Amino acid sequence: MSAPELFDTHAHLHFPEFTRDLADVLARARAAGVSRMVTIGTDVATSQAAIELAGREADVWAAVGIHPHDAAEADDAAFAEIARLAREPRVVAVGEIGLDFFRNLSPREAQERVFRRLLALGREVGKPVLIHCREAHEDVLRLLGEGRVGEIGGIMHCFSGDAAIARRCLDLGLLISLAGPVTYPNARTLPDVARLVPADRLVIETDCPFLPPQGHRGQRNEPAYLALTAARVAELRGEALELLAARLSDNARRLFKIP
C-alpha cells in the first residue's frame, strides 16, 4: 500500500533547528507521503529565508509575515519589505500573523497593529492569511471579521479553541488546521473539533520544529510525523485515511492555488 498523500500547511523548515540535516528531513517527509509543504516566516529575515528555501525545493512554498511575538520590532521598513515579499510568486499566503496573549512577548497594542496591517496586506495582494491565535480568540475573531477575512480566506493554524470557537471560525470563512496536539491522550476539545469540521474546511500541519505528535513528544518535530496526525484525525472522524488525506490536501491546494 502506498503512503497517503499529505500536505503540511504549516512548517518552519528554514529555522536553525533544520540547518544541519534538512535534506534528510525532506527525504523522510517525501517517503512518508508529504508531497507539499508551506514553510512559514515569522519576521523579515525568516520570511526571506522561507522564500529562498521555496525557490530551491519544488514541493515547498512560502508564507511571509510577522509573528505576534515579533510585533514590537515591526517598523515601516519591515512592513514595506514584507509587502514586497508577499508579491513573490512562490509566496502563497501572508502569515503567520495574529495575537498571542499567552506569552505576551510583544505589547498587545503592537500585536494588534501588526495584525491589522498584515491582514490588509493579504487583501491587497489577494493571498490568504495564516492566523496564529493563543488565548486571544475574542480579539482575533473580531479583527478577522473587521478585516473581512472571508474575502481572501485563511487558516486558523494549530487550532486550540473549542467547538464553539471552531464554528465561529467556519462562519468567518476560515479553514481549521489541526496539529500534533490532536494526538495527545489528554486532548480535551480537539477530538470534538476534529469531528465537527466539514471535510472541505479542514487541513493539517506539523508546525515543526514545534509540537511533535504523540510518540515523539520532547523531540524536534518534522513533516514526516504529519502521518501520525493524519491517522489520528481519520480515526476520530471514522474515515479512511487515504481518502481523508486526499481531501485535506485538496483543501490546502485550493486555498493556496497550488496545482
- Taking residue 218's Cβ as centre, other Cβ atoms within 10 Å add up to 5
Instruction: Give me the least distance between CB of 65 and Zn ion, in Å please.
Output: 10
Give the nearer residue to Zn ion in terms of CB position, either 4 or 41: 41
Stretch that binds Zn ion, among 23-31, 102-110, 128-136, 177-185 (CB under 5 A): 128-136
Interaction residues for Zn ion, span 202-221 (CB under 5 A): 207
Smallest gap from residue 41 Cβ to Zn ion (A) = 10
DSSP output for 130-185? EEEEES-HHHHHHHHHHTTGGGT-EEETT--S-HHHHHHHHHTT-EEEE-GGGGST
The one-letter code for the residue type at 10 is: H
CB-nearer residue toward Zn ion: 112 or 207: 207
Complex with Zn ion: residue 241 or 255, whichever CB lies closer: 255
How far is 217 from 137, CA to CA, in rounded Å? 26
Helix (H) or strand (E) holding 120: helix 108-125
Query: Binding of Zn ion at residue 132 (CB under 5 A)?
Result: yes
- The answer to whether 14 contacts Zn ion (rule: CB under 5 A) is no
Select the span of 28-36, 117-125, 200-208, 215-223 touching Zn ion (CB under 5 A). 200-208
Smallest distance, Å, CB 189 to Zn ion? 18
Closest distance to Zn ion from the beta carbon of 69 (Å): 9
Cβ-Cβ contacts under 8 Å for 36 (sequence gap 6 or more): 7, 8, 59, 60, 61, 249, 252, 253, 258
CA triplet 220, 241, 204: central angle to 5 degrees? 45
Report the site for Zn ion in 47-106 (rule: CB under 5 A).
Answer: 96
Give the count of residues interacting with Zn ion (CB under 5 A). 3
Residues 6+ apart with CB under 8 A from 97: 65, 66, 67, 68, 114, 115, 118, 119, 129, 130, 131, 132
Taking the complex as a whole, how short is the minimal distance between the CB of residue 243 and Zn ion, in angstroms?
Answer: 28
Rounded to the nearest whole angstrom, what is the least distance from the CB of residue 12 to Zn ion in the complex?
6
Q: Which residue, 41 or 153, has its beta carbon nearer to Zn ion?
A: 41
Q: Which of residues 96 and 222 has its CB atom nearest to Zn ion in the complex? A: 96
**Which CB atom, from 95 or from 153, has the smaller least distance to Zn ion?**
95
Nearest to 161 by CA among 148, 177, 149, 150: 177
Residue number, 8 or 96, with CB nearest to Zn ion: 96
Tell the smallest beta-carbon distance from residue 240 to Zn ion (Å).
29
Judge whether 158 and 213 are in contact, CB under 8 Å.
no
> What is the CB-side half-sphere exposure of residue 143 using CA atoms within 13 A?
23
Tell me the window of 117-125, 130-138, 140-148, 167-175 that interacts with Zn ion (CB under 5 A): 130-138
CA separation for the pair 168, 155 (Å, rounded) = 13
Q: Which 160-189 residues touch Zn ion, going by CB under 5 A? A: none
Residues that bind Zn ion (CB under 5 A): 96, 132, 207
